[in-house]
Every structure is written in structure tokens, then in C-alpha cells.
Structure 1
Amino acid sequence: MIEPLYDIIGVGIGPFNLGLAALLAPTGVKSLFLEQKPAFQWHSGLLIEGCTIQVPFLADLVTMADPTSPYSFLNYLQAHSRLYHFYFYENFHIPRQEYNHYCQWVAQQLDCCQFGQRVEGITWENTENESYYQVQVRQVETGAILTYNTRHLVLGVGSIPQVPPCFRTVHSEKIFHSAEFLHKRDRCRESQSITVIGSGQSAGEVFYELLQEQPGYGYHLEWHTRSQGFFPMEYSKLGLEHFSPDYTNYFYALPPQKRDLVLSQQNLLYKGISATTISDIYDLLYERSVCGNQPDVKLLSLVEVKEVESVGDRFILGYRHRQQDTRLTHETDCIILATGYQHEIPNCIEGIRDLIRWDDKNRYGVKLDYRLALTQDIPNQIFVQNGELHSHGVGAPDLGLGCYRNSVIINTLLGESVYRVDRRNVFQQFGVA
């Protein structure tokens, strides 16, 4: 027998793996979750004051699976003497800073969550008595190497900022992704002109924050996107039913080529801007335009950046207008790339890469129960968190489906129905069979 042998090790501690750790706590499963950051942090560069999470507080780490869990958001409020504050707040969408603090509160209570530990390699070992994954970890602070053994794995490394190709060879402290906005805000305040690129929620929030501060710092402000406009995210109640187990099951049953086509047509289900943010921006622009004033602001859609040139302390961007097919240039001295995120295949799985089945686009082959399809028939499973957009649909990155996915993972792991998984959760029907 190999000792110590964990039942499951999680790579990465974001909200999804943290929720899994919390839901595993009462089951007796021997688990370990590893994260290279020194403490839990959720999009720390976008914890802008006044910004809320885009799902109701019920989409916390545990409630949608177990409302009685001690790790619920309501219990967090009780522990911090904030229940009456929240009661009078009368808002289902909580501040992003508070959600981050809530997750930190949960992480601090779970001994299975260890931070400052970077997973650097994973191999599959098959001995006469036991087969298991061996996980090599480096302690970030000391550099010491540790080795853990586990029957199963769950990959929850999340996504990384996506940078358009033309920006990857231009290195400057004044070009950065919106994920770093709060950490690099001073660079904006020191600039004469700022350009925000992108048209999702992060772009809207960053632009609005810069717009509010503009009178105090006097910079010129522009907002550009290759999209057709600055459109709101779909947030009607029937539209939201796409973020349900029912739609996940429907989407999974589609042929892979059809899934890709459907996803390409669903951007506004999860990539638009909240109507509230758009309204706040418009209202402020309107207020700034009274008495014959003209805001020192420009919004431009349908323009795609093709070239970036550094000239002294400034940048010249070359664009193509996607409908007029004309070229234009724009000069600025600070660029914020609100260009979204992409899922990362972590380097640490290179040692088990041949064990995993990949689709024709080099993406994970994922089963309906969130297990990766493997090339060998072995008892050691690998689960994935938020790496299955291509197979399970738009709900993959949504906090509201985190508890459902974790319920499925736990039930599969233990071979019994530990957490209830309902089949009928929405009013509409997806598909005809």
C-alpha cells in the first residue's frame, strides 16, 4: 500500500474547486487541494468598488447543492454579524469584493486547501498492489519539493487572460489586460490618453471607472471593439435557463461540430455587458454633455486591431473596419485589453497527456459526468472544472452551475447519490427528444 494515498487531489483553488472541497468536507473523502497563490484571490484586479457578481448570491460555493451547509454565504453573513445589513440591502447580486472575502472565509476553514503550492508534474503509477497519480509540488516560498499520491484528480486551474496576437510582441508597462486593472490603475492616471479594447462586462466596468475619474486626471478616453456594438448580455429569465443542468444535458447530446456552431452564436448569453453598466455609462455621458459640453470620449465598434507600433512613449494602432473594410490608425499612450480569457491546458499534466483522450481540436475529451475520457481502462479518474465549454456549453464557467457540477463529481466519485441532482429544473424544453 502506498502511503499517504489521497482519494482525490485538486489542482488549483478557484471558486469551483473550493466549492468541491467544501462539499466533500462532510463525506469523509480524503482530499487535498493545491494552489500556487499565497491565499485565495478571485480576479483581484477587477474587485472594483460598486461592481457585483453577475449571478444571485445563491450561487455561492454550496447552497445549490446543500442549503444547510456551514459554508453557505448566509452563514458567512451570520458569522460576520451582517445578516440584517444584507436583509435591508435587498439585492440578490452581492459586491464582488464581498464574494471574494466570503471565499477566503471558507478556504481558511478547510485544512484540505493548501496555498503557496505549485503543482509542477503529474504521473500515473501502476504497481502490483495499487495504481495512483503521483503529484509533484513545489512550495513557492521555500522551493522545497513535495510528492503526494492520489487515486483521482480534479483539474480546476481556470482560465488565463487572452491577449490578441498583435500585442504579444509589444512589451510595455502601459499595455495590460483588464485582469490587472486595479494593480496598474496608476499607469492610467499618469496617461494623457487611454484606449480600452473589448466589449464584455470587464471592458464596460473598466471604461466606466475610467470615465468617472476622467475629470480629475484629464486624459482622453476611447473605447473600441471589433464587435458590432456595445450590446447587453442576455439576462431575461427564460434566457437564463440556458445556464441549467437541463440545457447542459441537451447541449452535450449534440454532435461535436454542432456544439461548436451553437457556441459561436451564443456570445451574448455570456459575453455581453450588463444593462445596468450600460445605463450607468450612458447616464454619465449624458450628464457630461449638458450645457453644450462635449465629453472627451470616443466609442467605436466594428474595428479590429491588426498592428501595434511603439513610437517613443506612445502606441500607434492599425485597425480594419469590419464592415466598411477600410483602414484607420489611432494613437494612444495607454492600452487596456479587456479581451477575455481562454482555458489553459496546464503544463503539469504533460506526464499524463498520453493518458487523456483529446478531440480533433486538441481539447479535452469530456464525459457527461465531467470525467476526462482516458486512453486506458483504469480505475483512476480525472475530473475537470471549467474546462468543458466545448462539450457542456455556456454554463461551464458560470458560478450558478458550480454546485451542480460538484454534485455530479462527488456522486460519481463515491458511486452513490450523496447530493441530489434533479432532472427537471426549468420551465422550457430543450430539444424534441
Structure 2
Amino acid sequence: MDSSTSNDFVSGDNSATTTNGHTLGNGHSTPKSNSQSDHSTMIEPYDLICVGFGPASLSIAIAHHDRRLDSSSRILYLEKQSSFAWHAGMLLPGSRMQISFIKDLASLRDPRSHFTFLNYLHQNNRLIHFTNLGTFLPLREEYNDYLTWCASHFVDSVRYGETVHAVNPVRLNGQGPVTMFEVQSTDANGVTQTRTARHVVLAVGGRPNIPTVFPTNDKRIIHSSAYASVVASVLGDREAPYKVAVVGAGQSAAEIYADLHSRYPNCHTRLIIRRQALKPSDDSPFVNEIFNPEKVDELYSLPSDDRTAAIRRDKDTNYGVVRIELLERLYEDLYSQRLRDPNEKNWVHNIVPLTDVASVQPNASNSKLRVCMKNIRSGMESKEDFDAIIVATGYIRDIYQTILASTRDLLKKDATGCECWSVGRDYKLQYDIDKVADNAGIWLQGCCEVTHGLSDTLLSILAVRGGEMVDSIFG
């Protein structure tokens, strides 16, 4: 499975060294500081503003650096987090990547880049030690450190702590086609910032998908994306005999279920899944070729119905599946309990299959959450009380529609006359050619799976895609 979560050569360039010791090539712009006013950009717009500074935007920054493009290019990255962090809520002890380190942010595009994972190891004096591990799958903790190391090279081009609310079209003298876009954000001090750019990339990730059956205002209900960051504030006593439910059948759910056993040695856990059993991911070599960069061209060129069918066929590579090594460990844990007591009702840890969560509400004293569970086959219901519920039910990737709401009337219309959020092969939103100038545009990242395939939200092709984005925007 080529999932990001579950997701060496020294450069020969003539990079300049910044005061913090990191290299920053001449091809990358360096706005001065986070406190610098950007009012001048109303006169001279940025060439590119990237909304979000996770791996997708970072791959663009690296590709732009490696292309050694015109140093006068003015690029800015806006990130709502206070510092660079990648899936901080799922950085669990001992968790490994589900993707080869070769699919880092540079190697598949240029293995001579300064930003390869192997060069990161070399720079940190761990190359030979990593080699001795004999693995292509680094710890997730180490990969996060690699990404943070990459991001540190571009610190002068990033405004952390800024949340973008809207991207609005701008017309020259208020007339004619749109020639640039206004990006509105709020910084960490609550001050509204307004900047303009000819090109905007939206790479804002997904919002947690929490089914409506779960109350949204109860801190005891935790989405998997925040698990490692907040669970200690909800379950504060490591030795307490908590009872915790995990909902979901994918890699994240299984990892959290396993992590709870060691994080809280006296807790009782239930993994609630709709299927008969947890399923293994298919990461065999031939199947894994669907994540090759050239497969995006192949899939994008298919008719819409054929694309949908192809993506559905391959979902077992990424959605609702677990790596076989973890499955075997979980099964062994259950077997050990069976050895000691054949009555499953007495087990401290268990997997509850073929089960839907029908309702969740506080119990009479509000000390716990009462979960009503319904067996999918029999329809029988049962109730259990839990101290916390971890919801590992994925993400919804539609934030861009809210941010771009004011540009909707610029979109090309489909056959029924409705505006649709369609993108070209280069990920550029397809606005009406009479309404938006050729040298302006908006690109989407991480929300184009329906047209570009399962790799769209993963790390697999970021190195190549970053180069494609730079070529599309800067030519």
C-alpha cells in the first residue's frame, strides 16, 4: 500500500547558505519576515501564493528551487499551523511509513537534488546506520523530521499561523477578465491580511470526517487526526482502567487500537468495524504500479465512468485496509486472550465486527459516553459505556469550495449549464476562458482523486507532481 499514513546524493548546485545553516537556492524568493507588511503586494502581486504548507506545497517549493528559475519570482506560502508539522496526531511510537523512502519529495524527479531522503540522512550523519536497518520504510517519526528539515530551507518564504478564509477574483480597474486573485487571511494575532497573486495553489488537506451520529461538542470524541496530540488531555491517568472505543477499519484505526494497549496498560478497548474482518492492504508489486506517476495520464484520459470504476477497483490499496504485519500482531494478541479465557466477553481487548454505531450520548451522570451498537446482520442492539471514542473515519476534501466561493461564477459550465469544480490534467481549475486571463489561475492539490486517481492524496507522486506544477505555473 502506497499510503502516506497509514506514507543518497549530495546536490552539486551552487546554493547560498542562509544564516541558519540551511541551503536556499538562488531560484527561490525570500520575503523578509513574518512581521513584514505585505501591503505593497497590492501594487506588485506575488507570482504564486500557496495556501497550506504541507508536503504538497513543500514539493512545489523544492521543485522551484531545483529548477533554478528566475530568482525574481515572488512566492509565498501561508500555513495555519504555528510551525511545520505532518500528521502530528498520528506520530505513534514505532509506526512506520507505508511507502518507500525513494518516493520522497525529490528523488523520482531528480535523485541529485539536495532534498532527497538519503541526503537528509547524510546531512544528519545517519546514512550508514539507516542502511544497516535493511528497510525501505523509515519510522514515521523520522520521515516527519525529514519533511521538517526540508521545510526549514524555506522558512523565510512561509507565514505560519495564518488561516486563509477566502480567495477572491481581481479585475484590472474592475473590468475585463480576472488578472489576479486576492488572498484574505487572519494571522496569529487576529489581524486580517490581504495579498494578491497571479497564481494560487490550494493545498489545504482534508477536514475530519466525523459521522453525524457522534456529538461534535464533546472532547471525549477524538478524530484520529488529533489522537496523539490530545488523548493525554482527555485520558490523563496512564494507569487508569479506562474503556475506549475505536471506530474504523483502516490503518489509522488499527494503529490507534494497538497504541492504546501500550499507552494505557490497564485500559479496555473495542475496535468497532462494519466488516466481517479487518482486511489486508494490497501492496504487491504489480498492483502498486497504480501509484506510478505516468498512471495519472492514463487515468485522467479515461471517460468519467471508467475512471470511477478503476478507482473503485483499486481502493483496497489505500482505504479501509491494514498492513499485514499489524494484522498478524493484532490477531496474535487476541489469540493470547483466547488461550487464557475462551469467553470473548471477558477479554480486555476485542474487535467487534459487523457493527454500526447507532447512537452516542452521555450516560445519566455524564461520566461516560453511552454507545448503542447495532449488528448489521441480526439487527440486535447492545449498549456499552466508554471513557473516550476515537473516530478513524477519514477525511472530507472540500474545503477549497468554501475558500473559492466568490470565484464560482467564473467556472466553466457543464452540459446542464451548472458550474462544476473541474480541473485540467495540470490541476488547474477550469474557469471560463473569457472570464480569467491566461496568465492567472488557481490550482488544486489533494482534492482531485476523482480525476487523477488514488495517488492524489498520498505522498507517492509528490516529487514528480511538484515539478509538473512548477512547469505549469512558471512555464
Tell me the TM-score range normalised by the shorter chain. 0.7 to 0.9
Percent identity (aligned): 27
Listed as ranges, the matches of 1:384-399 within 5 Å are 384-399=444-459
Q: Does 1:33 align with 2:81?
A: no
**Alpha-carbon distance between aligned partners in 1 of 2:350 and 2:43, rounded to the nearest angstrom:** 62
Secondary structure of 2:259's counterpart equals: helix
Picking from 247, 259, 271, the partner of 2:307 is: 259
Shift of 1:123: 1.6
Pick which of 14-23 and 353-362 moved more: 353-362
**Alpha-carbon distance between aligned partners in 2 of 1:18 and 1:297, rounded to the nearest angstrom:** 40
Secondary structure of 1:396's counterpart equals: helix
CA contact (8 A) 2:45 2:197 kept: yes
Alpha-carbon deviations, 1:276-324, whole Å to 9, x = none? 1112222333345545587422212221212222212222222333333
**Alpha-carbon distance between aligned partners in 2 of 1:44 and 1:370, rounded to the nearest angstrom:** 27
2:191 maps to what in 1? 144
Picking from 220, 224, 237, the partner of 1:174 is: 220
**Alpha-carbon distance between aligned partners in 2 of 1:161 and 1:205, rounded to the nearest angstrom:** 17
CA contact (8 A) 2:206 2:399 kept: no
Q: Does 1:330 align with 2:384?
A: yes
- Ranges in structure 1 where 5+ consecutive residues have no aligned partner: 416-433
**Alpha-carbon distance between aligned partners in 2 of 1:47 and 1:358, rounded to the nearest angstrom:** 43
Secondary structure of 1:226's counterpart equals: coil
CA contact (8 A) 1:354 1:375 kept: no
Relative to 1, partners in 2 of residues 1:305 and 1:247: Cα closer, same or farther, differing over 3 Å?
A: same
Q: Does 1:285 align with 2:339?
A: no
Alpha-carbon deviations, 1:244-293, whole Å to 9, x = none? 23332232223324433443443311011111111222233334554558
Secondary structure of 2:330's counterpart equals: helix
Relative to 1, partners in 2 of residues 1:227 and 1:250: Cα closer, same or farther, differing over 3 Å?
A: farther
Q: Does 1:229 align with 2:271?
A: no
Picking from 230, 251, 254, the partner of 1:204 is: 254
**Alpha-carbon distance between aligned partners in 1 of 2:375 and 2:304, rounded to the nearest angstrom:** 32
CA contact (8 A) 2:408 2:419 kept: no
1:420 maps to what in 2? none
Q: TM-score, normalised by structure 2?
A: 0.80
CA contact (8 A) 1:12 1:35 kept: yes
RMSD (Å), alpha carbons: 2.5
1:300 maps to what in 2? 352
**Alpha-carbon distance between aligned partners in 1 of 2:277 and 2:315, rounded to the nearest angstrom:** 13
**Alpha-carbon distance between aligned partners in 2 of 1:61 and 1:22, rounded to the nearest angstrom:** 8
Relative to 1, partners in 2 of residues 1:116 and 1:392: Cα closer, same or farther, differing over 3 Å?
A: same
Q: Which amino acid aligns with 2:94?
A: G
Pick which of 403-412 and 47-56 moved more: 403-412
Q: Does 1:401 align with 2:461?
A: yes
**Alpha-carbon distance between aligned partners in 2 of 1:66 and 1:376, rounded to the nearest angstrom:** 34
Shift of 1:159: 1.0
Shift of 1:171: 2.9
**Alpha-carbon distance between aligned partners in 2 of 1:253 and 1:16, rounded to the nearest angstrom:** 23
**Alpha-carbon distance between aligned partners in 2 of 1:228 and 1:356, rounded to the nearest angstrom:** 44
**Alpha-carbon distance between aligned partners in 1 of 2:350 and 2:465, rounded to the nearest angstrom:** 42
2:432 maps to what in 1? 375
**Alpha-carbon distance between aligned partners in 1 of 2:190 and 2:218, rounded to the nearest angstrom:** 30
Q: TM-score, normalised by structure 1?
A: 0.88
CA contact (8 A) 2:341 2:347 kept: no
Alpha-carbon deviations, 1:197-225, whole Å to 9, x = none? 101110011011112345x3x22211111
Listed as ranges, the matches of 1:38-117 within 5 Å are 38-110=82-154, 111-117=156-162
- Ranges in structure 2 where 5+ consecutive residues have no aligned partner: 1-40
Q: Which amino acid aligns with 1:35?
A: E
Picking from 273, 294, 315, the partner of 1:246 is: 294
2:30 maps to what in 1? none
Alpha-carbon deviations, 1:72-122, whole Å to 9, x = none? 212211221111221112211111111111111111111322212222222
**Alpha-carbon distance between aligned partners in 1 of 2:403 and 2:473, rounded to the nearest angstrom:** 22
1:428 maps to what in 2? none
2:47 maps to what in 1? 7
Secondary structure of 2:408's counterpart equals: helix
Q: Does 1:410 align with 2:473?
A: no
2:245 maps to what in 1? 195
Secondary structure of 1:247's counterpart equals: helix
Pick which of 387-396 and 318-327 moved more: 318-327
Secondary structure of 2:291's counterpart equals: coil
Shift of 1:13: 0.7
Relative to 1, partners in 2 of residues 1:49 and 1:362: Cα closer, same or farther, differing over 3 Å?
A: farther
Secondary structure of 2:460's counterpart equals: helix
1:153 maps to what in 2? 200
Secondary structure of 1:395's counterpart equals: helix
1:21 maps to what in 2? 61
Shift of 1:382: 1.2
Q: Does 1:318 align with 2:363?
A: no
Q: Which amino acid aligns with 1:336?
A: I
Alpha-carbon deviations, 1:113-136, whole Å to 9, x = none? 221222222222121699211222
CA contact (8 A) 1:358 1:364 kept: no
Relative to 1, partners in 2 of residues 1:170 and 1:147: Cα closer, same or farther, differing over 3 Å?
A: closer
Relative to 1, partners in 2 of residues 1:31 and 1:213: Cα closer, same or farther, differing over 3 Å?
A: closer
Relative to 1, partners in 2 of residues 1:70 and 1:322: Cα closer, same or farther, differing over 3 Å?
A: same
Q: Does 1:309 align with 2:354?
A: no
Q: Which amino acid aligns with 2:260?
A: L
Alpha-carbon deviations, 1:341-371, whole Å to 9, x = none? 1213243322323223587998731111111
Picking from 202, 211, 222, the partner of 1:164 is: 211
**Alpha-carbon distance between aligned partners in 2 of 1:139 and 1:227, rounded to the nearest angstrom:** 44
Relative to 1, partners in 2 of residues 1:228 and 1:402: Cα closer, same or farther, differing over 3 Å?
A: farther
Q: Which amino acid aligns with 2:105?
A: L
Q: Which amino acid aligns with 2:450?
A: H
Secondary structure of 2:426's counterpart equals: coil
